[in-house]
Structure 1
């Protein structure tokens, strides 16, 4: 066990040390403000305060972990070997940067509480982030910093048996619309027919009625393909179905239709199932509560977690609602149009509510790749290379890769050509 001495034990301090030491590195950690207890400890130990006590491993503490509320922080990002960091520490410190304060800033999503420009859907964008502006969005910097800290511990305690973490994958299949044409009902089918006709989309019109008449498979019906992949994969897939009411933003099948319910049950026999919250449920806990209840009635068990429509997170309200409804995990932390690490990490972490200064039980599972982000790469080779670089960056820190694909991604639409190839690269990648 690692014992950390500090002058003041705060919720922020405990939260970030447990994230780095226990969740990323697998090292148990405890804390003390008593010098005598620290001296008597005969295993891993370090001090995190303003001045070293003696010759122990010492990291000079930034004040961020001992503050409350939000401050106007002056952050200067500097190069550090193969990566970047901020909050420099000085000569006496074992690390040139306070990686603990920097980690807290990133995984608490401190910057998302500060004033920023939102996009048309009200989302925090990659361009507003510290990582994008300082060109480290493509690195899991929190995990890289953690392993630099581990190297310091290993140098000072060569006889300690450090646990090994392993790279893993949690593939996400997002289902905003279960079928393109099937089960839409008479009025929506007629409306779609007129739209296709008057916009001269005659190929789509032909396809619509070929599906409705049962001559062709619906282009969004790729479930057999994905389930067959699940049967041969060592990773457990997570499906998120939208069960919200029809609206301007959400246009899925009516959740009461028996064939849609059967589809969800069938998928649940092989994969984990969660709720894709509707656009209006993001700001209305009563709507979210109803959608959660709908899903649990269908699958007859607790949902694995949630994922928000349009990958939208409004901090802290979005996550407070999930905490209140006891939803265990959320898979919305990432960017729609950029590959990379929104929270600077590829290790799941608990949501820390900065307004209340409390760690919550909600586990945030950040995603690093949404299928839409690959569309900016024009050739298959460019897509493959970008994906392989991302996978390698996660493997180097034994992290968790969370790719998000939609059911229609695996269809025959030319826009999504070769995306099955990308999915295969992810599923078939070796752990090392």
Structure 2
């Protein structure tokens, strides 16, 4: 166990030390404000305060972990060996940066509470983030800093054996619309035909006719392929189905249709099923509750995981709503159009409510690449390269790599050419050198 001496034990301090020590490095951590207890401890120990006590392992503290609320914090980015960091505290500190304060800033999504420009869907975008603008979005810096901390601890305590952690993956399959043509109802089907006629999309009209006549598979019906890949993988896929009402933003299948319910149940026999929260349910607790209950009736068990439409988050309200309905995990933390680490970490973490200054039970599982972000890279070779680069970043810190692919990504549409190969690269990555 690591014992941390500090001048004040705050909720923020306990939160971030537990993430770095327990979740990333696998060691227990405790805290004391008593110098006598600190001196008596005969294993891993360090001081985290404003002044070093003697010659102990010491990290000089920044003020952010002892503050409350949101303040305008001045941040200066520095290069630190193979990465970047901020909250420089000087060479007298055993490590020159307060990685705990810097990690808290990123994990709590502090910057998303500050004034910023939103996109047309009301989302915080990658280009507004510190990580994007300072060039470290594609590094899991919190985990990298944790391993630098571990190396420094090992140097001071060479006899201590740290537990070993291994790289893992959590494939996410997002299903905003289970089928392209099937189960859409008469009005939507005729509306689609008229749009195709007006747009002179003759191939679409022909394909729709073949699908609805039963002569051809629906283009979005890729579940047989996905389930076959699931059967060969030791990692359980997580499917998020949209069962919200039809709106301007969400154009899924009516959840009352028996064939759609059967599909969800069938997929649930092989993988795990979560709720894709509809756009209007993100801000409306009563709609969210209705969708949760609807999904629980289908899967016949408690819903444990959610993912929000368009990857939209309104902090802290979005997460508070999930907590109030006892949803345990959320998979929305990431950027639709940029590859990288929105919260700076590739290790799932608990949501810290900055307004209430409390660690919550909601586990945030951040994703690192969405299929749409790979479309920016035109050639398959480029797509492979950027995908392998981000996988290697996660591997180097034994983290959990989380990709988000959609059911239609595995269709034969030219836009998604080569994406089955990219998905296979991810599935094979735990065994690749």
TM-score by structure 1 length? 0.99
Using the TM superposition, give the Cα deviation of residue 91 of structure 1 relative to its aligned residue in structure 2, in angstroms.
Answer: 2.3
- Could you tell me which residue of structure 2 aligns to residue 260 of structure 1? 260
- Could you tell me which residue of structure 1 aligns to residue 46 of structure 2? 46
Q: Is the 8 A contact 1:138 1:340 kept in 2?
A: yes
Q: Is the 8 A contact 2:177 2:251 kept in 1?
A: yes
- Could you tell me which residue of structure 1 aligns to residue 303 of structure 2? 303
Residues in 2 aligned to 1:10 and 1:417: alpha-carbon distance in whole angstroms: 51
Residues in 1 aligned to 2:302 and 2:39: alpha-carbon distance in whole angstroms: 47
Using the TM superposition, give the Cα deviation of residue 84 of structure 1 relative to its aligned residue in structure 2, in angstroms.
Answer: 0.2
Count of equivalent residues: 432
- Could you tell me which residue of structure 2 aligns to residue 355 of structure 1? 355
- Could you tell me which residue of structure 2 aligns to residue 313 of structure 1? 313
Structure 2 residue runs without a partner (length 5+): none
User: SS of the residue aligned with 1:290?
Assistant: helix
Using the TM superposition, give the Cα deviation of residue 303 of structure 1 relative to its aligned residue in structure 2, in angstroms.
Answer: 1.9
Using the TM superposition, give the Cα deviation of residue 75 of structure 1 relative to its aligned residue in structure 2, in angstroms.
Answer: 0.2
Q: Is the 8 A contact 1:272 1:304 kept in 2?
A: no
- Could you tell me which residue of structure 2 aligns to residue 110 of structure 1? 110
- Could you tell me which residue of structure 2 aligns to residue 144 of structure 1? 144
Using the TM superposition, give the Cα deviation of residue 355 of structure 1 relative to its aligned residue in structure 2, in angstroms.
Answer: 0.4
Residues in 2 aligned to 1:79 and 1:359: alpha-carbon distance in whole angstroms: 31
- Could you tell me which residue of structure 1 aligns to residue 342 of structure 2? 342
Residues in 2 aligned to 1:48 and 1:157: alpha-carbon distance in whole angstroms: 17
- Could you tell me which residue of structure 2 aligns to residue 417 of structure 1? 417
- Could you tell me which residue of structure 2 aligns to residue 172 of structure 1? 172
Residues in 2 aligned to 1:303 and 1:386: alpha-carbon distance in whole angstroms: 34
Question: Is 1:181 aligned to 2:164, yes or no?
Answer: no
Residues in 1 aligned to 2:355 and 2:430: alpha-carbon distance in whole angstroms: 41
Using the TM superposition, give the Cα deviation of residue 304 of structure 1 relative to its aligned residue in structure 2, in angstroms.
Answer: 3.0
Using the TM superposition, give the Cα deviation of residue 406 of structure 1 relative to its aligned residue in structure 2, in angstroms.
Answer: 0.2
Residues in 2 aligned to 1:217 and 1:341: alpha-carbon distance in whole angstroms: 37
Q: Is the 8 A contact 2:167 2:430 kept in 1?
A: no
Using the TM superposition, give the Cα deviation of residue 430 of structure 1 relative to its aligned residue in structure 2, in angstroms.
Answer: 2.8
Residues in 2 aligned to 1:297 and 1:176: alpha-carbon distance in whole angstroms: 19
- Could you tell me which residue of structure 2 aligns to residue 12 of structure 1? 12
Residues in 2 aligned to 1:102 and 1:407: alpha-carbon distance in whole angstroms: 37
TM-score by structure 2 length? 0.99
Residues in 2 aligned to 1:90 and 1:311: alpha-carbon distance in whole angstroms: 39
Q: Is the 8 A contact 1:275 1:292 kept in 2?
A: yes
Superposed CA RMSD: 0.6
Map 1:57-96 to 2 at 5 A.
57-96=57-96
Residues in 2 aligned to 1:385 and 1:171: alpha-carbon distance in whole angstroms: 19
- Could you tell me which residue of structure 1 aligns to residue 230 of structure 2? 230
Q: Is the 8 A contact 2:46 2:57 kept in 1?
A: yes
Structure 1 residue runs without a partner (length 5+): none
